[in-house]
Structure formats: structure tokens, C-alpha cells
A and B are shown apart, each in its own frame.
Chain A
Amino acid sequence: MLYPEIVIVGCGNPLFADDGLGPAVIEELNRLQLPDNIKAVDGGLGAPHFIFTLIDQAVTKKIVIIDIVDFGAEPGSLTKLAVEDLPPGSYRDAHSWDLTEPLQRLKDSVEITIYGVQPKRVTAPDMEIGLSEEVQKAIPKVVQHVLTEIGVDYGATIVS
């Protein structure tokens, strides 16, 4: 079994500045000791075809996705989205697969939550390593929200 009951996926490319937020959050989460039924995966650039299309709906009950989202707020702001909020074709996977398509297939049997952080700088197609200060500062609060979402409370995860 590839993916357990709860899967946390950080999407993005660290070579395009703030696009690296997803993998950075996963790195933080993996420093913690998460219960066995939870897996935090650095989806990198391949989440739709390496993860979302390989989810076993009989096993996985919850998916939490972390990514940058341009929703016109201040850089570093956090928003929570559902699959319905993603308009079709808003993001195309490298294999010309719509990100929302595999998620649409899953959403009736799996609970899907998306945490999006407003980026300040996405340098694509130019490469730059490192998050902007605003987005870097958003990491702890994303971690808090994700831990609350998956019901893990180590005493450090209280959200005001």
C-alpha cells in the first residue's frame, strides 16, 4: 500500500523561489513524529501523476494539499480551499492532465483540503532558490493549520 489513511502533499518547485513553499512545509512536518496513519509527501512537480492518480480510495480518507495560490492577497497570507474552488484548467500538470481532474475523481470518497499561500515572487521560467521572507514566515502557521486539520495535537498546535 503506497499511501495511508491521511496523505499530506506539498506541491511546488523549489527552483522557482516561492513555488518551493509546499516542499518546505513537508520538510518541517517530517521533523515531527507523525502517527503511522499519516504520510507527508514532497510532491515536487509530480503530484498529479505520481500521487493523486495512485491514491487507493478504499484506504485513503483524507488528503491535505499545500501549495502557493495566487488569490490577490498580501504575500504570505493563507487560504483554505476545496476542490470546488479550483476552476477546471486552472493548473495543468506536466502530462497535460488537469490537476483538478484526478482530484474531482477522488473528492466524493476522500476529503480533500487545500491550503494555499499567496506567493510574493515566482521566478519561472528563471531559476532562483529560496523563499521570500513573507512566505518563509508563513511556514509555521501552515504547519499549525495542517496539524489541526489532521487532528494531531502536541500542545504546540493551538490555533488562536
Chain B
Amino acid sequence: MSKVVEISPTTRHEGHSKLVLKVNDEGIVERGDWLSITPVRGVEKLAVGKTMHQVPKIASRVCGICPIAHTLAATEAMEASIGCEVPEDAMLLRYILQCANRLHSHALHNILSLPDMYLPGTDTKINPFSPEEPVRSVALRIQRLREIGQTIGEIVGGEAVHPSNPRVGGMYKNISPLAKQKVYDLAKEGRKLAHEQSEFMIAVFRNFQKRDWAEVAGRQVPIPKDLGYHNQGYMAAAPIYGSSSLDEHPTWFPERWTEVRPWDWYMGEEEITLEDKDYPVGGTTPAGEKAWPQMQACTGVPLYDGQPVEVGPRARLVTFKNYDEKGAIGLQIARQMEYEATCYGMIEAVDALDCSGKVIADEIPQGDGTLGWAANEAPRGCDVHLAKVKDGKVRWFSMLVPTTWNFPTCSRALAGAPWELAEVIVRAYDPCVSCATHMLVVDEDKRIVAQKLLE
């Protein structure tokens, strides 16, 4: 007799999502549904009628985690639609931005995945905020890598969070020779740290693979050897940067993409019959409540060649570097293997950059409504933006963000694992459930601060 357990919300990743799991008597997942419960936000509608220069800025505000990827993908979707060729030095600057973004993101994800892992040779889980060695120096290294990524991102992108420098037609400004030197020095420092960090992380993940159990909710949960395996295939446009419809040989194909509604994909209404009060944080959903994945899921289900596919670091490595390790840990290790490439990427691009070269196209066409798309390899996977621009105005716009691809794929990867480890699999995907809502509520009954009213 299978039981149903719900973990809501899932933690230590970006956004708002939950897991509905059908498990057998041994607690092994028979069917798992991982779904986004972040409300649909309708950026596509908002974009219609705006100028092609505004829309990439709007797209950047959709998500506070990868604003660089969204800016670049949207900018290039506009350029693809109007048929605008960007000068080489502008592309080099974008490439540096892309690498800096990935460096920061992978380092940040290390902090999110370490608490599931053990110090090799011990039964102690890693607390990345611990002041004890060896964790302390790892934490400092992660901080430095994030700092390097963010500093380079700010120098090249113009702003700390949402980059202002990229524009339709190229970049607003080139960087100075002094800034170029600074980027070079930082990337060189980062390369060494990234190498050390990836070695450390791979050792930690390999150690997890060799373990027989992991402790969750006070129990020793057996770790299966095929944790997170799936047979869904992969999709990636490039090892580092991306592709667009302007390319001579594009590597993403809109005609292979279809979409089905969550109604046709996820489970129907289920009553929750298994609960665990000890599960972190605060226990699972109480038994007796209802879950209705096909109604509650907020994202469509995109298919490539008629099936869900995985996007992200492993998809890039499988497609371009003959990587073949499956499972949640295989994905984590693929992510670490990309670390150093980001720094080499920056070093090579900044080396090739001519600081006095032009960074904006001489002529920026206004567009005739042709469909253009750009697939940007964001840290979490292929981020595809599609646009139709006519007379400088956006007529149609669509975003296919990485985690939308990964939701149904990862749901399949949950089968066969103990339900307590489902979140370990989910976190391996570094999910980005775009969540832009943001407001402080100071006090439920709004008393305390009323006295502090200034004006």
C-alpha cells in the first residue's frame, strides 16, 4: 500500500516549491512530483508594447539570483529578432560577465549543498558557518570566490546586482585598461582558489557516495547507489556562453520545443497519509491534508523532442565534454568541474579584449517582427528567451527559464530514493524557482513601529 508524504516548502534553494511523494512501505519513492508554487507573474504580457531596450531590463528584475543571465538572454533575443550583429569586444565583455555570474553562483550553491554532506572520514555533517577548521577556511574561500565573481560582474556589468551595461546592439561602455588589468588579476587569483575549491567539493561529494547512510530526522537513512538517476536526456546550447538564431549553426531548436499543461503531467488530488514531525524544518505536512499537484503547479511543462530534459552543468558537460556520470552526486560533481573553466574563460576573454575597440553596433535595425531567440547557458542551465520585435517595439516575448525544464526531469529522478533524501536530489539541481516577491511585514498587528513614524 503506498502512502503519500508532502514536503512543503522545500528549503535551501531559491524560490518556493514543494514535493509530493508517493512512497512504498519501505519509504522508497514510487512516484515523485516536484512542483513550483511560486505564482505566475506574467512578465511576457508586461513586455508587449515596451521598447526593445526596456524589456531586457524588465527581464532582469524577474529574478534576483541570475539577473545577468536574464539580461543577456533577453538582450540577445532582441538582437536576434532585429538581426543586429554585435561588435566582438562587446561580446567579450558579455562573456566575462557570464563567467563571473557562474563563478559566484556555483560558490553560493556550495554553501547550500554542504549541510547535507559529511566531513570525509567522520559522521559529522558540515556546517558551513562553523568557526572550526577545516570548514572555516573553506567558507572563507567560498566568500572570496563570490567576491571575485561579484567584483568582476560589477566592473563589467556596471552594477552590483542587475547589470546596467549590456544593451541591445552591444554594451554602453567598454572598460578602461586599468579595469581590464583588475579583472585579469582577480580572475587569476580566482583560478587558483576555484581549483582548490572544486577539489575539496568533489572529495566531499565522493565521500557521500561511498557512505551507506545519511542522518535525516534522527534516523539513519540508507543512501542508494543510484540516488537521483533518470533517463530523460539533456539539453545544452554551449559549454559556457550560448547560442542564438543569428548563429550560422544554432545549437538550440525552437521546433523541437513543445509544452504541456501541468494538468496533463502531475498527479491528481491525493490525501496525505504519512507525516514526520521530526523532518527538518518543522516536519512534513500533517496527515489528512490534501495535495493536488496538477492544480497547484504553477509552471508549464516544457518538452524537448517530446520529453522533459535536464539542463545545467551536467547537461553542458554531457553534450560537450563526454561526461557520463548519472545521479544527484554526478550533477554536483559536474558543477564543480565547471569552476575553473569560468576563471580561464575570463582570463582568455579579457586577454583578447581591446579596451579602445567599439562596443556598440553602428546600426541598430528596428525589427520587422521576425522571431528571434537566444539560449544563454545560465549557471542553472539553458535560459531561452524568444522575442518578436517590430519598429523597435516588442510584439511578443517569452522566457523558458532553466528550472522550468528541470522540474519534470527531477521529478522522475526522485523515484527509487528514500523520501527523506528527496531534497538532497532537488538541491543538486540548484533550483531557481524565480521568486520576485518581496516585502517586509514588520508586525502582524502592526503595533510596534507606529511609534517610530518619522514623517
Contacts and interface: CB of A to CB of B under 8 A. Distances in A.
A11 B40 CA distance: 22
Nearest to A128: B46
B65 A94 contact: yes
Contacts of B239: none
A46 B61 contact: no
B64 interface: yes
Contacts of B178: none
A11 B263 CA distance: 36
Interface residues of B, number: 51
A77 B437 contact: no
Interface stretch (B25-33, B202-210, B329-337, B442-450): B442-450
Interface in A26-73: 41-47, 49-51, 53-54, 67-73
B53 interface: no
Interface residues of A, number: 53
Contacts, number: 168
A81 B442 contact: yes
A86 B442 CA distance: 6
A2 B151 contact: yes
A43 B161 contact: yes
Contacts of A46: 64-65, 67, 161-162
B354 interface: no
B295 interface: no
Nearest to A125: B39
Interface of B: 9, 11-15, 38-43, 45-46, 58, 60-65, 67, 108, 112, 143, 146-147, 150-151, 154, 159-162, 435-443, 446, 448-450, 452-455
Nearest to A69: B440
Q: Which 4 A-B pairs have the closest CB atoms?
A: A45-B64, A72-B446, A125-B39, A46-B64
- Which has the most chain B C-beta neighbours within 10 Å: A43, A47, A49? A49
A43 B439 CA distance: 14
Contact of A44 (B15, B161, B437, B453): B161
Contacts of A91: 438-441
Given A49-B108, A79-B453, A54 B61 contact: no
Interface in A100-158: 116, 119, 122, 124-129, 141, 145
Given A13-B438, A43-B161, 19 more contacts: A15-B46, A19-B438, A41-B160, A45-B63, A45-B64, A46-B161, A49-B64, A51-B160, A68-B440, A77-B454, A78-B454, A79-B454, A91-B440, A95-B112, A116-B442, A125-B39, A127-B43, A127-B45, A128-B46
Contact of B150 (A2, A70, A95): A2
B146 A125 contact: no
A85 B438 CA distance: 18
A50 B161 contact: yes
B302 to A, nearest CB: 20
A77 B455 CA distance: 6
A11 B438 contact: yes
B443 A87 contact: yes
A15 B62 contact: yes
Nearest to A65: B440
B100 to A, nearest CB: 12
B394 to A, nearest CB: 14
Contacts of A141: 455
Contacts of B45: 127
Contact of A45 (B154, B438, B443, B449): B438
Contacts of A42: 159-162
Contact of B154 (A2, A44, A79, A124): A2
Contacts of B112: 95
B147 A2 contact: yes
A70 B12 contact: no
